Chains A and B, each alone.
Chain A
């Protein structure tokens, strides 16, 4: 691992993002707008909003980072720059770590803005600590990023990469327990949801939002989030081939 190459890559990815101000605005503000929307959808049902708000603040970064990363990486693969980098003395993990750092920074900004709007102007209230919700949001963003990096290897066009969102992320959202308690699903689905990373991301957020404490199961959630992130980064590194056909 080279700190220099990692830092250079993170800086380069952030500079590229800065060149696209519309994307930056969308990334930073859309989640806050959606949380605001949700607040008035649940007009007069502050309790329901409090219950859903925490998980949503934590899950938005997962979704956006998954999408943004898979497309950015796909561009790198199809634009020839990845081939150039692979012909240079650059470590694959340096590249991936650079991406990770850059998008974690964006995710942190996104989560802070969303949480700021929710807590300060929407009277949003969680049982646990605000910092824990934001920290989980950033962790989920990095999880979404690493899955996006990995999944981008299976897309050869941007159309395909965009379709991975409904194909890969929506089922996880449906099964994670956000909409329906997992215990009430068909038995097979509950078992499937046990194998999906978003289930654990949601569970941790739900615990912090309602009970206020992670507890033993909550720490298992965090362990799974970190583990799957590292696993996806490792698999992502395997898909970065020095030699291609």
Chain B
């Protein structure tokens, strides 16, 4: 996908056990810098576990995960990686402003970052309302804003558009593109194949294994399908035919 100088995330032979069951079966891949890499696959295929391993909060059985050349989750890397979980992990009883201010101070970022980020996530008008009273999409934006505070080099986003209708999905994807254009590496998971077309690179996953790592154009070419959903299904069919 990319030469090593441009590799931001490097995963080798990654295996993870959860509850005595192997959920990741020896994954190998790399993620290129400044690009949007989409991790796609059905619910329950191991996307969240893989993202947790990259952020360094997942106990892994074996294998190596490096982010920016350092072991995932090491102190040096934690400051440079932003992580947005699927459920907005923010304090619901605090306002967006209070949430951002807290994480700003914890990170040691300048206080001015709070207002900058409120503008970025377009929540300045609702900054003082408790997050509990915000809509699902607005809560997700507070969570995203929290991850942006430290101006991370790598953003790991777990299903950031889940529950948003197609029109509302436009906005976050526009922000992701803007971030990638500024050099941020984005690793975004989704189970909605429509979103695959918005990524630069794709990792297709099923049952804890990678089916393919390619670009959307390559996927279309390889399967002869224009529709991403169909292309993914075609890929699975072929895989099963070869087993």
Chain A residues in the interface with B (C-beta under 8 A): 2, 4-5, 7-9, 11-12, 15-16, 19-20, 79-81, 83-90, 94, 242-245
Contact = CB atoms under 8 A, between A and B. Distances in A.
Given A12-B94, A243-B57, A83 B106 contact: no
A89 B77 CA distance: 8
B94 A242 contact: no
B166 interface: no
A80 B87 contact: yes
Contacts of A8: 102, 105-106
Closest 5 CB pairs of A and B: A80-B89, A8-B105, A12-B102, A84-B89, A19-B93
Contact of A87 (B55, B59, B92): B55
B85 interface: yes
B107 to A, nearest CB: 6
Interface in B181-237: none
B138 interface: no
Contacts of A90: 106-107
Nearest to A2: B108
A242 B146 contact: no
Contacts of A7: 105
Contacts of A80: 85, 87-89
A20 to B, nearest CB: 7
A12 B98 contact: yes
Given A87-B55, A242-B56, A16 B106 contact: no
Interface of B: 17-19, 55-59, 73, 75, 78-79, 81, 83, 85, 87-94, 98, 102-103, 105-108, 130, 146, 150
A19 B99 CA distance: 13
B91 A9 contact: no
B106 A88 contact: yes
B59 A12 contact: no
A89 B149 CA distance: 13
A96 B55 CA distance: 22
A177 to B, nearest CB: 39
A47 B146 CA distance: 57
Given A20-B93, A242-B57, A89 B105 contact: no
B106 A19 contact: no
Contacts of B98: 12, 15
B107 A245 contact: no
Nearest to A76: B91
A245 B78 CA distance: 19
A20 B146 CA distance: 23
Contacts of A15: 94, 98
Given A4-B105, A84-B85, A16 B94 contact: yes
A187 to B, nearest CB: 45
Nearest to A16: B93
Contacts of B83: 84, 87
Given A16-B94, A19-B93, A89-B78, A245 B105 contact: no
Contact of A245 (B56, B59, B85, B106): B59
Nearest to A20: B93
B58 A81 contact: no
A243 B83 CA distance: 14
B59 A83 contact: no
A244 B85 CA distance: 15
